[in-house]
Structure 1
């Protein structure tokens, strides 16, 4: 991995961390589980790209990183589906 790729991975990780902080502030204000799940997912993605930038893992051995991304995106999908389901208590 070149220095530029490491720099860009760090920038992407910082962007995910900022998005996570933004959703965390929304959750603190509104207390909706959707925002907390989004914040946790974006923090997972930030950890993923930080791990990628710091460890210099070859392309062939990045499978665990894809599992972390899969978990983050699955959490987002489940949170969206749950927030759009009709409430049973009215």
Structure 2
């Protein structure tokens, strides 16, 4: 059985991730830099995963679905950093 505090904390983390996604989406709309788009998508995926985990029992965090969502989140962040730091090939 999950503790109600766990659900509240997961909801807070999901909300924070959603707000971060909105901020990065706003920065992407201003600059059209793919870096911000990747970060917005990554935090959106994290928000959805945390929200889904909050709706289920906290002990189900060991399910592969939640690990795959986190893996996708971190892969998007790593791809954004790699794309941002690669040399410009148009020269």
Could you say whether these structures have the same fold, taking a TM-score greater than 0.5 normalized by the shorter chain as the test?
yes
Instruction: Kindly indicate whether the alpha-carbon contact (under 8 Å) linking 2:39 and 2:77 is maintained by their aligned counterparts in 1.
Output: yes
**How high is the TM-score relative to the length of structure 2?**
0.92
Instruction: Kindly indicate whether the alpha-carbon contact (under 8 Å) linking 2:6 and 2:58 is maintained by their aligned counterparts in 1.
Output: no
Which residue number corresponds to residue 35 of structure 2?
A: 34
> Per-residue deviation at 1:57?
5.4
Q: Distance in 2 between matches of 1:2 and 1:27?
A: 38
Q: Residue 78 in 1 paired to residue 42 in 2?
A: no
Gapped regions of structure 1 (runs ≥ 5):
none
**How high is the TM-score relative to the length of structure 1?**
0.93
* Number of residue-to-residue matches in the alignment: 90
Question: RMSD in angstroms over aligned alpha carbons?
Answer: 1.3
Which residue number corresponds to residue 10 of structure 1?
A: 11
Q: Which runs of 4+ in 1 moved over 6 A?
A: none
> Per-residue deviation at 1:61?
4.6
Q: Distance in 2 between matches of 1:75 and 1:81?
A: 10
Q: Distance in 2 between matches of 1:82 and 1:72?
A: 16
- 3-state secondary structure, aligned to 2:28: helix
